[in-house]
Structure formats: C-alpha cells, structure tokens
A and B are shown apart, each in its own frame.
Chain A
Amino acid sequence: MKILTGNDLKTGAVTWWTGYDWSLHVEDAVDVGSEADAILAREEGARRVNASYAIDAVRDTDGGVRPAHIKDRIRALGPTVRPDLTLKPADPNAGNWVI
C-alpha cells in the first residue's frame, strides 16, 4: 500500500494521512493508491502538513500499518532509545515491529 506522511507545520509532530485528516498514529493511515501527488499538493497548500511524502507500507496480519523502511517505522513510534517518549510509553509491546 501507499501511505502519506509528513510533519505538522506548527508543532513538527509526525503525522499520517487518514483519508480526510492527519493523525499522529500510523495505524490510521490509509492506502492512497495513485492519488498521492494530488493529496499532498492540496494538503501542503492548505498548510495542514509540512515536508510530506508518500511511502510504501504493508498491512500486517493484526491490521497494523507498517512502513516499509526502518526510518519511517522509527518516525511512526519515536526514538527507539527513549521508550518513555514514544507514542505508547506504557505498552511494552508497542513498536516490537519497528526494528
């Protein structure tokens, strides 16, 4: 699948395109098929996202969305060396798919 990611303009937070908005959670990302360029141009223009780009991802057996490249998997959760700063610091299994 093709998904879209970028950063929130004001806060810099990593965000993922949900089909109608940008979410902090990669599992909300949707397959945009061949629409990536059109969506990115519109959303950048509306300043709803910054430095956005399309990436390959797969949906795993649990339904989770997994970016293909390690860099985007790390972006999805947070630095691997600071679990306390990741999106789900209380969940010891969160991110067991990142590396």
Chain B
Amino acid sequence: MYRYDQYDQAMVDTRVAEFRDQVERRLSGKLAEEHFRPLRLMNGLYLQLHAYMLRVAVPYGTLSGAQMHVLADIADKYDRGYGHFTTRQNIQYNWIKLEETPDLLADLAAVEMHAIQTSGNCIRNISSDQYAGAAADELIDPRPYAELLRQWSSFHPEFCTLPRKFKICVIASDTDRAAMKLHDIGIRIIRNDAGEIGAAFYVGGGMGRTPMIAPCIREFVPLDQLVTYSEACLRVYNRYGRRDNKYKARIKILVHELGAAEYTRQVEEEFAHLKTQGIEPPIAELERIKTYFADPAFDADASDAIDRSDALFARWVDRNTHPHKQKGYAIATISLKPVGGIPGDASAHQMHVMADLARDYSFDECRVTHAQNIVLAHVRKADLYALWQKLVAADLATANLDTIGDIIACPGLDYCSLANARSIPVAQKISRRFAESGKEDAIGELKLKISGCINACGHHHAGHIGILGVDRKGTENYQLLLGGCEGDDTSLGKITGPGFDEDGIVDAVEKATDVYLAQRQEGERFLDTYRRIGVDIFKEAIYG
C-alpha cells in the first residue's frame, strides 16, 4: 500500500502543529467558536450530540495492520474503547476531548494518517472497491488512480471552498461494489474497443434529500488525462454550483438543472483549455505510486482445497468469502454486524485482533468497506480455518455478508445532532428477529440500509429495503422504501406509504420479506422479485 514521502509527511505534521496552536488559542479565548468552528471542521472534528466527534480518513478504505493498531490505541487512549466504521470507508470516534485532539492527531500522523478533509465543502476521502487488487473480475487495481486523485485533491487551493462537499469514487471492475454512480464523480476504469485503458466518468450522482444516479458524461478519458478531466469537472461545478442554497449546492443539482449535455459541453470546453496548461502530474509520479500497489508475494503453490468438515466454518466460507484473482487465495470479509449489535462498531480489542489477523493472514493490510465491514483481501484458502477460529474468539465471525443481518445503519439519533430518529435500535431489532427466526438464511441476499434523517448517510435510497427516520411531531417515525440498489443496476428506492413506529417498521420489513419468500422464482433475489412483480403486492401485504 502507499507510503508517505517526505512531502506527504511534512504536510500532515505541519497541519498537526497548526491545529495544536488553534486549539490552544480557542481554549485561551483568543479564538471565538465562530472562528474556530471552520478550523476544527477542516480537521474532521465535529461537535455532536454527546461530545466532540472525530472522523479519521482512511484513503480508499485501505489500512495497514500498524495503522489499525493505532486506531485501536486511539479508541482506548482518547475515546471509550471503540470506534465506528462509516459508509465512507472512514472511522469515527464519538467521545473525543478538544484538549486532547492535537495529541491524537500527532499519534495518527506517526502512522501516516490524518483527519484532514473529512468535513467541510472540499473534496473528501476518495472511496474505492474494497476488493481492489484482489478481485477476479478486476481490470487493474484502481487504487493507484485513487491515490493520484488523493494527492491532487489534498489541499487543492481552488477546491477547498466548493459550494458543498464533494465525493469521488474510483473502481476498475465489472461489478460495482462501491456505489460508484451515487457519488459526485464516479470513475470506472475500463478498456475500450482499441484495447486501451481509460476511465468512464459519471458525474452528478448522490443521495441526501435529492437522490440522483450519475449520468455518464464521457465514456473514455485516457488515463494520462485523469486529473485534468477531474479538474475540468470540478471547475465547472465550482464556478456555477448553487452557493445561494445549501440544499441545492451539490453538483447533482447543477448537472440536473443544466442538463447532462450542457454540463458536459462546459466540462469539455474547460478540459480543452486545461490540456494546454500542463496540469497533469508527470507519468513518472503515477508509476511511482503504482509500485506501492504491486501484488504481494503470493504463494504460487497455494492450494484451492478447503476442509469444509466444520459446518459453521463452511457456512462462513460460503457467506463471507469471495473469489480471488490468485489461485489458492480468497477474499474474506469480517462482518461488523453481530446479531443485535451496532453496525460498524468495533471495540479496541477487536481492532487489535483484526490488525494481527491482517499481519498474519493478509500481507499486513485490511480494508474498510462502505457497508461498514472489514476485508482481508489476500487470504490463503489453507489459512481460512485458522483465521475463522480467531474471528470466532473475538466475536467477529458472523456469517451474514449481504444478508438482511448485514445492515448499513448511520449513527442516527443516538449520536448525531442532525438526526430525526434513531437508526441503531431499528437495525438491532431487525437483525435479531431475522436471525432468531432463521429467515435470514432463507432470504439470502438482501441489502437493508437505514438513515436517521434525509441526509442519507445510511444509504437508505440504495437499499433493496431502505428505512428513513423522520420526526413526526416530536416522535420517531420510520418510512419504508423498496427497490433501491447500488452497483451496476443502480436504482433508487421508492417510499411505500405512511411511516411506522419502531416496532411497526420491523413488522413491515418482515411482511415485505414474506411477500418475497412467497413470490420468488428460482434464483431470484429480493430485488429481482420486487422488480418483476412491482410494489403493489408488497403494499397490500404491508398496509392491507
């Protein structure tokens, strides 16, 4: 994985020193909150429902074992013994003290990490495929390009005060595992008919209160013009994005209001101009970055055999592992969704365990997924059983990847000051009900996503079943959405009808899954059945 050079390290160290000074001035009264607030937000420090919350960037979700150990140490030293992995492949701590934040950031900087640009109207952490560099269906590893864009977007002076926040995703496989079309810019690396590798640009997607699927505005950008084309997309947005209305300030609104064709025309014009300016980094820099993402030293003789005599282990293999490009290897997902647990939370102890497992079984590297799980990307099949046993001991072996128990849930009203309703208790009740009834296995793949408000951090628009928490005259209420999907056939869920209270929404979810179980045809997932039979049968069962 990428390692900082002296410039990266100097930038991060300088920022820690700068923020230390800013905190001192705030605490001594030389800075008022109105002036300090934008400074702390630039460093990922929010004031949330119960305390300060720090969001730490995990570039394209990739972490070394040493970094994961430090994240665990931070949970113990500065927080209350746990952290929350987010749908942006980052980690958040919920109980941070302002006076300790500079020391915390210094600890992060020591392992090449930071919290810069995890908040504010700037280009946020670049997300990517959690199976990058390992998936059998991958064209090339997208992470060198994500890293190039990370370097370009870090402290980019022109884009540090955009109309709104800006999220970029880079993938390079047939299957979209990163909700690419629901980003401000989604980049898919492809091979064209001439056999050249380049990138398709999807611009203007997003969730929030106005969800939109990004249209493809250019089917092929040569890879040596990736930064220039990205800059053109950003420039047009920065120039014309709506600064007058926070709710209309995301690029999706601009693309929608201008129309994709006119937005594209303006981008192309800007692109033509920028190509004369020589802003693309030298190809040598990309080659330098690529060396960090070379394949690890795979064991060429690794066997494909897996001893499946332990039924619980076999179930975990079937559910939580994925084909690897290398013979004898598998990609293993560690579920952070124990039955009745808090989605995405991991204790410091569990983080230490995962760091050790990354070191022992996956070339000292792990990934955070947007579904709030952890991936060990390169595990020898012969090691899977030993790995699984250690996961069992740490309560990390739940075999529920992509099932109704693998719920994405935002922090909701238990932690978030913007929330209307709690997300986590709903996730816990659904997870328990379906695990205890045994229906989880019968249902198979079903992506359920819960947000505590319209900001949609829990991706409810993209859930096969989505749940949105709303405030109904001061009480929590939950709307049900059906038919959303991220990935290749991205679609947005539709609200079924009036909302429910906490128990009511759990019942409604069960009724929807009962319709599926009764109606499904051979090989159909919940989403397939929904698309085939339409919403009315579901509505009848839920409200009838």
Q: Which residues of A contact B (CB under 8 A)?
A: 7, 9-14, 44, 47, 50-51, 68-71, 74-75, 78-82, 85
| Known contacts A51-B47, A81-B342; A12 and B422 CB within 8 A of each other | no
| B27 with A81: CB separation less than 8 A | no
B500 interface hit (Cβ, 8 Å): no
What is the distance, in angstroms, from B343's C-beta to the closest C-beta of chain A? Answer: 11
Contacts of A51 in B (CB 8 A): 33, 47
Contact (A50, B413) CB under 8 Å given A11-B97, A12-B96: no
Q: Specify the chain B residue showing the minimal Cβ separation from A78.
A: B50
Inside 8 A of B474's CB, which chain A residues have their CB? 68-70
The distance in angstroms between the C-alpha atoms of A11 and B417, with both chains bound, is 17
Would you call B475 and A7 a contact (CB within 8 A)? Answer: no
A12 touches B49 (CB 8 A): no
The minimal Cβ–Cβ distance linking B30 to chain A, given in whole angstroms, is: 11
5 closest cross-chain pairs (CB), A and B: A12-B51, A12-B52, A79-B414, A10-B99, A11-B97
A71: chain B residues at CB < 8 Å are 49, 413, 417, 419
Nearest CB in chain A: distance from B224 CB, A = 47
Question: Assuming A12-B97, A44-B33, is B476 touching A74 (CB within 8 A)?
Answer: no
CB-based contact A9/B97 at 8 Å: no
Q: Is B98 an interface residue (CB 8 A)?
A: yes
A11 x B49 contact (CB < 8 A): no
Interface residues of B (CB under 8 A from A): 26-27, 29, 33, 47, 49-52, 80, 95-99, 342, 413-415, 417, 419, 422, 424-425, 428, 474-476
- Chain A residue with Cβ nearest B341: A81
Q: Which residues of B contact A7 (CB under 8 A)?
A: 47, 51-52
Contact in complex: B33, A80 (CB < 8 Å)? no
A14's closest neighbor in chain B, by CB? B50
Q: Do residues A70 and B475 form an inter-chain contact, with CB atoms below 8 A? A: yes
**Docked complex Cα distance between A75 and B48 (Å):** 10
> Are A50 and B47 in contact, CB atoms less than 8 angstroms apart?
yes
Check if A11 sits within 8 Å of B51, measured CB to CB: yes
Residue contact B33 to A79, C-beta cutoff 8 Å? no
Establish whether residues B50 and A11, one from each chain, have CB atoms under 8 Å apart when the complex forms.
no
Q: What residue in chain B is nearest A46 (Cβ atoms)?
A: B29
CA distance A71 to B342 in the complex (A): 19
A74 touches B413 (CB 8 A): yes
Partner pick for B98 among A10, A69, A82, CB 8 A cutoff: A10
Q: In the complex the two chains form, what is the Cα distance from A10 to B47 in whole Å?
A: 11
| CB-contact partner of B414 in A10, A13, A80, under 8 A | A80
Extra 20 A-B pairs, beta carbons < 8 Å, given A9-B26, A71-B419, A81-B422: A7-B52, A10-B99, A11-B97, A11-B99, A12-B51, A12-B97, A13-B50, A14-B51, A51-B33, A51-B47, A68-B474, A69-B474, A70-B413, A71-B417, A74-B49, A74-B414, A75-B49, A80-B414, A80-B422, A85-B95
Measured in the bound complex, the distance between the Cα atoms of B97 and A75 in whole Å is 16
B425 pairs with A80, CB closer than 8 A: yes
A74 to B97, CA, bound (A): 20
Bound: A47/B25 CA distance, A:
12
The answer to whether B33 and A75 have CB atoms under 8 Å apart is no
Within 8 Å CB of A78, what residues of B?
50
Give bound CA distance, A74 to B50, whole Å: 9
Known A-B contacts A11-B98, A69-B474, A71-B413; A81 and B52 likewise in contact (beta carbons under 8 Å): no
CA distance A14 to B476 in the complex (A): 22
Chain A residues with Cβ below 8 Å from B428 are 81
Residues of chain A within 8 A of B50, CB atoms compared: 12-14, 75, 78-79
Interface pair A79/B99, CB less than 8 Å apart: no
Residue of B whose beta carbon sits closest to that of A11 = B97
Whether B98 contacts A12 by the Cβ 8 Å rule is yes
- CA of A68 to CA of B428, assembled, Å: 26
B50, closest chain A residue (CB): A14
Chain B residues within 8 Å of A44, by CB: 33
B476 touches A70 (CB 8 A): yes
Closest residue of chain B to A71 (Cβ to Cβ) is B413
B415 touches A79 (CB 8 A): yes
Tell me which residues across on chain B come within 8 A of A70, comparing CB atoms.
413, 474-476
B51 contact set on A, CB distance < 8 A: 7, 11-14
Docked pose: A12 CA to B26 CA in angstroms: 13
Shortest Cβ distance from residue B275 to the other chain A in the assembled complex, whole angstroms? 47
In the complex, what residue of chain A is closest to B423 when comparing beta carbons?
Answer: A81
Chain B, Cβ-Cβ closest to A81: B424
CB distance from A52 to the nearest CB of B (A): 10
B47: chain A residues at CB < 8 Å are 7, 12, 50-51
- Picked from B98, B413, B417, the residue with its CB within 8 Å of the CB of A9 is B98
Please, how many angstroms separate the alpha-carbon atoms of A75 and B415 in the complex? Answer: 9
How far is it, in angstroms, between the C-alpha of A9 and the C-alpha of B413 when the chains are bound?
22
CB closest residue in chain B, given A51: B47
- Is the Cβ of B80 less than 8 Å from the Cβ of A85? yes
Q: Nearest Cβ distance between residue A54 and chain B, in whole angstroms? A: 16
CB of B97 within 8 A of CB of A10, answer yes
Q: Which residues of the other chain, A, contact B96 by a CB distance below 8 angstroms?
A: 12
Query: Shortest distance in angstroms between B499's beta carbon and chain A's nearest beta carbon?
Result: 16
Shortest distance from the beta carbon of A48 to any chain B beta carbon, whole Å: 11
